[in-house]
Structure 1
Amino acid sequence: MTAPSLDARRFAAIDNVGGEVSAETVFEYRERDGEVWATYAGGAVRRGYLVGTRRADLLSIRYVQLNIDGETSSGRCVTEVSVLPDGRLRLDETWQWESRPGEGTSVVEEIGA
């Protein structure tokens, strides 16, 4: 069974290993016809954008962001979408910087409006 659409859903990180995203970073997702995109900001991230595709419960994403120190970075991410017992969505991410060394994992869960 495929998880529901990400469209108009908001997410925040509950776990991040090695990146600039934190619990203060809020992602606002959109999804249409197999395309996904989002804006995000908060914590060490001043502004970020991501774009990618969805096949069933797997996202393939590229992202670019500006941190609070004025540095830009970009990378790629593979994300698995799942449904939590309470009906919210969870994103398990494996990411890698392309503009600098580093890689890691993140867990992002849906938050209220």
Structure 2
Amino acid sequence: MARSLDGLVLSPVADQAPGQVGTRTRFTYHEEDGRIWAEYAGGDVVRGHLVGTREGDRIDFRYVQLKTDRTTSSGHCVSLVVDLPDGRVRLDETWEWESQDGSGTSVVEELPVP
């Protein structure tokens, strides 16, 4: 199993469509006894939260966010936790909106420690 996500800050490696998370979005993760949660913000997202569970290297969570245009959206995501060769963590994500049309994949990675 990959290491704990607790206290890690991750960011997408590429921008998604306008109004979604992007390279300026920062996710601060927490993990305790198989429970996962995070706060995120940046770019078009004013505030977002995710909550879910982790079993081994698989994370299953729901997310909700407030965007700069004052609209909200929510969805579901399943992620695979991958340890990178340099010691950082990557999440390979498959997501779909529940509040609107759309689905896709994305990659978020732990930010390097300065």
Q: TM-score range by the shorter chain?
A: over 0.9
RMSD value over aligned CA atoms?
Answer: 1.2
Please report the TM-score for the alignment, with normalisation by the length of structure 2. 0.94
**What is the count of residue pairs matched by the alignment?**
112
Worse-superposed segment, 16-25 or 88-97: 16-25
Structure 1: runs of 5+ lacking an equivalent: none
Please report the TM-score for the alignment, with normalisation by the length of structure 1. 0.95
Cα distance, 1:104 vs. partner?
1.0
Deviations 1:26-55 (A, max 9, x none): 000000000000000000111000000000
Structure 2: runs of 5+ lacking an equivalent: none
Deviating 4+ runs (over 3 angstroms): 16-19
1:21 maps to 2:34: no
Identity of aligned residues (%): 55
CA distance in 2, matches of 1:91, 1:103: 16
The residue that corresponds to 2:94 in the other structure is: 94
Larger strand proportion of the pair: 1
Name the aligned partner's letter for residue 84 of structure 1: L
Higher relative contact order (CA 8 A, sep 6+): 1
